Amino acid sequence: MRLKGKRFVIKFMFPILVFLIGLTFLIFVHEMGHFLVAKRKGLKIEEFGLGIPPRLWSIKKGETIYSINALPFGGFVKIYGEDGSHSDEKNSFAAQSSNVRIKILFAGVLMNLIFGIFLLILGLNIGIPVVVDKSNLKDIRDIKISILEIQKNSPAEMVGLKVGDRISEIFYDNERITVPSVEELQNFTKKHGGKELGLKIERGKEVLEIKTIPKENIGPNEGALGIVIGETGILKYPFLKSIWGGIKNGLDLFFNVFVAIFLFLKSLIFEGKMIGEVSGPVGIVAIGSQTVKLGLNYLIQFLATLSIYLAAINLIPFPALDGSRIFFILIEKIRGKSIPIKVENLIHSFGFAILIGLILFITFRDIIKFF
């Protein structure tokens, strides 16, 4: 029983733990941006916390409390006077010029963007998984068919195939195709619809053999296994080229997030539905722990993407986010006077309540989806 317990921890809990450490570090990087700039400007930092209270552990050094809190999602830097009070004291956030306050708020966004680009540079130097296209073919090695998407209640989902699985072989009786192309795989599954096929799957360092029965009489837009497949490989650049590639890909992703968010909000507000897959804390941990199993390069790529997403989302002028606080300061600069602090705090509180509600709703969907 003890041996089985240890195997369970290694197989299921260890990937979750590794990803949570990585996610916590992304939050740490963001909050460290606020912290460093505020400290440099001589402001008093009341608390630097990782996680959401209640507090589990804390230590006080100088005038700052450093804490670890119970819920491992989020983090905060509590700066003296950030609620608008103590505006007559020089070490208060409220006493600073609009430019200094914007720099402090923007520092978290910038740190996440820089860190995400750094991870992309590192990933491109050691090799990261990408979908093959003509523009990057010469730098890609180990090209195989990978599962990019799995339809609900499909034969693939029923037998436990996962996004990221690489299909190295497909067979039925004496018929066998090693390293099939997209077209070969599609034709093979259509030809043997309703029969039990074997798939050799590479999942990280594991090699699995999975049996599945493709559907017969499929529609024009359906696949026999219910999967979207594509050629993927490992993209690896020389050191100098990886620097340029990381910067370019990171900035492209950063700006594309804003387009994706605009389309998401447009659909949600005007059509009352969510487009694409949106994950909350539970979904992010579930997906992140799967990337740990696939290998270090997958984890680096996922954390890089997540860090850049955090940077972009925090810059959106939605109440309670850094972007909203920057927006209020810009309004103050235009008007020549600040919005009443009670009004601003009320708007941020309302926005925070909406965010929590949205997170709870998405988390409920994640639990149903993943468990």
What three-state secondary structure class fits 54?
A: strand
Distance CA 3, CA 350 (A): 50
Q: How many residues does the chain have?
A: 371
User: Rounded to the nearest 10 degrees, how much is the dihedral formed by the CA atoms of 237, 239, 240, 245?
Assistant: 40
Cβ-contact 194, 214 below 8 angstroms: yes
Say whether 31 is catalytic. Answer: yes
Instruction: Tokens for 114, please give them.
Output: 């820089």
C-alpha 51/C-alpha 57 separation (Å) is 11
Give the residue carrying structure tokens 């990221």: 164
Helix, strand, coil share (%) of the chain residues, nearest 5: 55, 20, 25
Distance separating alpha carbons of residues 106 and 91, to the nearest angstrom: 19
DSSP element (H, E) containing 57: strand 45-61
Coil, strand or helix: which one is 58?
strand
Show the DSSP H helices in 82-181 as ranges: 98-126, 155-158
The burial class, CB within 10 Å (0-12 / 13-18 / 19+), for 308 is: buried
Amino acid at position 292, single letter: V
Q: Return the structure tokens found at 152.
A: 């609900």
Q: What is the dihedral of CA 269, 272, 273, 275, to 10 degrees?
A: -30
CB-based contact 264:280 (threshold 8 Å): no
N- to C-terminal Cα distance for the chain? 24
CB 178 within 8 A of CB 199: no
Task: State the catalytic residues.
Answer: 31
